[in-house]
Chain A
Amino acid sequence: MARKVPEVNAGSMADIAFMLLIFFLVTTTMDVDTGISRKLPPIQEEELENKPPPIKEKNLFEVIANVNDQLLVEGNLMNVNDLREATKQFLNNNGDGSCTYCTGSRNPRSSDNPFKAIITVQNDRGTSYNLYIAVQNELVAAINELRDELSMRMHGMPMSELNEVDQKKIQKMFPQKISEAEPVNLSGN
């Protein structure tokens, strides 16, 4: 009969595992990166030969932030808290009546329909990053709220519970059209 191989002592296994555990606890982080995603427009090298047709003034929603962190929305001084509601009214306006699912007031001096409506943001070099993010957040929130309301009317549930195809459809019905003006120095410093 062969001699019995003595068993390896596994008592220190726990210590080794603990050491590894503590090493990983110290060197790793758990946080997930979150944020607002944007796509920058490519740089236009030269002037286009066929200029795009001009956009009507009423289809533009101008948001300007100055060096003192004040907002000028469509020519009026506005608080950031009111920006979401104003944006929703603008996108949902349905001035030419071609948007069958819009519930807007059909003001002839505001946007024609959600496809023509464009939001443009302009800021000064001295504007704080905080306000810039707040503005971006409110604009995205306005579009998301409109989409959610539409989803409730069409499917009876919020957009997050729809399947992917329906989500895409609703996203197309209220497209996110936010343009950023080429940087300018508004305050002159």
Chain B
Amino acid sequence: MSKFRKEGSKETPAISTSSLPDIVFMLLFFFMTTTTMREQDLVVRVIQPKATEVKKLEKKSLVSNIYVGQPIKSYQSKYGTEGAIQLNDFFASVDDVKDFIFAERESRKEEEIPLLTTNIKADVDVKMGIITDIKQELRKVQSLKINYATAEVDDLDYQK
């Protein structure tokens, strides 16, 4: 035992936690800038088809979403199992698409209206009939920019 050893130096000094808030704030800001608010709850099942030639949708604020798919389990007794349309947060019919587009336009600035894109998020098992109906409605209200939501994959193989 050395003579000069100080008293109680056997304990390891506590790690300073004073920089912890800074680290956590950094994480916080990272997530705040890279993520977007979660969209409304879906009442239809949407498994997006896969595609290789996809493009990213710019400007999320200029996109209005139309969901098409089979109603989820708890609504199947009421709305059946055929493809259904969801606008905002509940089921809608093809005729409501017009009003939906008008409402979307209303909430945007006037100069942004021509830039509005309608994003059709449809399930793989949906039939084209309902998609065609939606497209016809969109043409009637001159909302011509559309996007078929697809998941991006590097390679595709069609089994058929």
A interface residues with partner B (beta carbon < 8 Å): 10-11, 13-14, 16-18, 20-21, 24-25, 27-30, 32-43, 65, 69, 79-81, 123-130, 132-134, 136-137, 140-141, 144, 183
Q: Answer yes or no: B76 CB below 8 A from chain A CBs.
A: no
Q: Can you list 26 pairs linking A and B with CB atoms under 8 Å apart?
A: A17-B28, A20-B28, A21-B27, A21-B28, A24-B31, A24-B35, A28-B36, A30-B34, A33-B56, A33-B147, A34-B152, A35-B51, A35-B55, A37-B55, A37-B57, A38-B146, A39-B146, A40-B139, A43-B139, A79-B158, A80-B160, A125-B127, A126-B127, A128-B127, A130-B49, A130-B124
Q: Answer yes or no: B128 CB below 8 A from chain A CBs.
A: yes
Chain B residues near A39 (CB-CB < 8 A): 144-146
B interface residues with partner A (beta carbon < 8 Å): 17-18, 20-21, 24-25, 27-28, 31-32, 34-39, 49, 51-57, 60, 63, 68, 117, 119, 122-129, 131-132, 135-136, 138-140, 142, 144-152, 156-158, 160
Q: Which residue in B39, B145, B148 is a CB contact (below 8 Å) of A136?
A: B148
Q: How many A-B residue pairs have CB under 8 A?
A: 159
User: Contact: A27 with B38, CB < 8 Å?
Assistant: yes
Q: Distance (Å) between the CB of B61 and the closest chain A CB?
A: 12
Task: Report the separation of the CA atoms of residues A34 and B24 in the bound assembly, to the nearest whole angstrom.
Answer: 31
User: Contact: A34 with B57, CB < 8 Å?
Assistant: yes
Q: Distance (Å) between the CB of A33 and the closest chain B CB?
A: 4
User: Contact: A133 with B125, CB < 8 Å?
Assistant: no
**In the complex, which residue of chain B has the Cβ closest to the Cβ of A83?**
B158
Chain B residues near A28 (CB-CB < 8 A): 31-32, 35-38
Chain B residues near A130 (CB-CB < 8 A): 49, 124-125
User: Contact: A40 with B144, CB < 8 Å?
Assistant: yes
Task: Report the separation of the CA atoms of residues A133 and B153 in the bound assembly, to the nearest whole angstrom.
Answer: 13
**In the complex, which residue of chain A has the Cβ closest to the Cβ of B21?**
A13
User: Contact: A14 with B125, CB < 8 Å?
Assistant: no
User: When A and B form their complex, which 6 residue pairs have the shortest distance between CB atoms, in order from nearest?
Assistant: A125-B129, A28-B35, A13-B21, A17-B24, A33-B57, A137-B51
Q: Which residue in B56, B129, B145, B148 is a CB contact (below 8 Å) of A133?
A: B148
User: Contact: B131 with A35, CB < 8 Å?
Assistant: no
User: Contact: A37 with B128, CB < 8 Å?
Assistant: no
User: Contact: B147 with A126, CB < 8 Å?
Assistant: no
Chain B residues near A13 (CB-CB < 8 A): 21
Task: Report the separation of the CA atoms of residues A140 and B54 in the bound assembly, to the nearest whole angstrom.
Answer: 9
Chain B residues near A20 (CB-CB < 8 A): 28
User: Contact: B150 with A14, CB < 8 Å?
Assistant: no
**In the complex, which residue of chain B has the Cβ closest to the Cβ of A33?**
B57
Given contacts A40-B144, A40-B145, A129-B123, 14 further A-B contacts (CB under 8 A): A10-B21, A14-B17, A28-B36, A29-B39, A30-B35, A30-B36, A37-B147, A41-B139, A79-B158, A128-B125, A129-B125, A137-B52, A137-B156, A183-B136
Q: Distance (Å) between the CB of B159 and the closest chain A CB?
A: 9
Task: Report the separation of the CA atoms of residues A43 and B98 in the bound assembly, to the nearest whole angstrom.
Answer: 15
Q: Which residue in A32, A40, A132, A133 is a CB contact (below 8 Å) of B146?
A: A40
Task: Report the separation of the CA atoms of residues A59 and B35 in the bound assembly, to the nearest whole angstrom.
Answer: 47
Known: A34-B54, A133-B148. A25 touches B31 (CB 8 A): yes
